[in-house]
Amino acid sequence: MARQGWTLRDSLMNTALAALTLVLACTLPACSSETVGADLQGVASVIDGDTIEIHGTRIRLNGIDAPESGQLCQDARGTAWRCGQQAALALSDRIGRRQVVSCQQTDTDRYGRVVADCIVGRENLNRWMVREGWAVAYRQYSTAYIPAEDHARTGQRGIWQGRFDMPWDWRAERRSGQNAAPTMSRLYELAGQNWSCSPRRTCSQIGSCAEARWYLQNCPWGGKLDRDNDGIPCESIC
């Protein structure tokens, strides 16, 4: 009987120890399937105004959206400028050479990129890009940087010095192709066709919807092309 008692007790103890070992083992990173919250550190290379790369890992800055590399904006004088390129350069200059960037992962996006809040020194890069006017708050995913956007807009910093398309609108226009109304960036690309506000034109003298939209956006008399004020000029061709 004593031997049987010891056998039962030994069996219970072994079971308990196995369970405890499993619990302790699964607290280790190797046993966890949860990657959100992981730290990424290293020298970063800038891909564009809201994407960096550290040790081969693409990192999308959380809660912000910067103009795309090929995107154009308009300054206070109405001149087109490559705001997407400037946003990337601003981020690169802020990070500097050989400075270590630390990122705290918050999510993974649909393209498999790490989504993270990143700092260099004590500066939150996400907030800095929005506050300086090189990106906007990506409200669809976060409201954390709306105050920074308000600051940039009030101070007319970066892209807020003039007019611009929201980056998500610019991307949507590129994806949808010819059927969508051209964004401002596309209109300025088309402006290379020597369109001019002088002389004044009527709808019968305009050859395309894109041309009509350019006049509407840029010429003092452009509003005359939109008689019902619905934002669509020359509806016979648009």
pLDDT digits (tens, 9 = 90+) for 170-223: 898 878 764 455 565 555 555 545 677 888 889 988 877 777 877 887 888 888
Classify residue 231: in a domain, yes or no.
Answer: no
| Confidence at residue 5, expressed as pLDDT on a 0 to 100 scale | 47
| Confidence at residue 136, expressed as pLDDT on a 0 to 100 scale | 97
Tokens of 237: 């061709």
Domain limits for position 136: 39-161
Classify residue 221: in a domain, yes or no.
Answer: yes
Number of domains within the chain: 3
Residue 61 pLDDT > 50 = yes
Classify residue 235: in a domain, yes or no.
Answer: no
Q: Are residues 55 and 144 in the same domain?
A: yes
Classify residue 68: in a domain, yes or no.
Answer: yes
| Confidence at residue 10, expressed as pLDDT on a 0 to 100 scale | 56
Q: What band does 49 get if pLDDT is binned at 50, 70 and 90?
A: very high
The answer to which of 31-40, 43-52, 54-63, 140-149 has the lowest mean pLDDT is 31-40
Q: Are residues 47 and 148 in the same domain?
A: yes
The whole-model pTM stands at 0.63
Q: DSSP states of 42-101 as a string?
A: EEEEEEETTEEEETTEEEEETTEEPPPTT--EE-TTS-EE-HHHHHHHHHHHHH-SS-EE
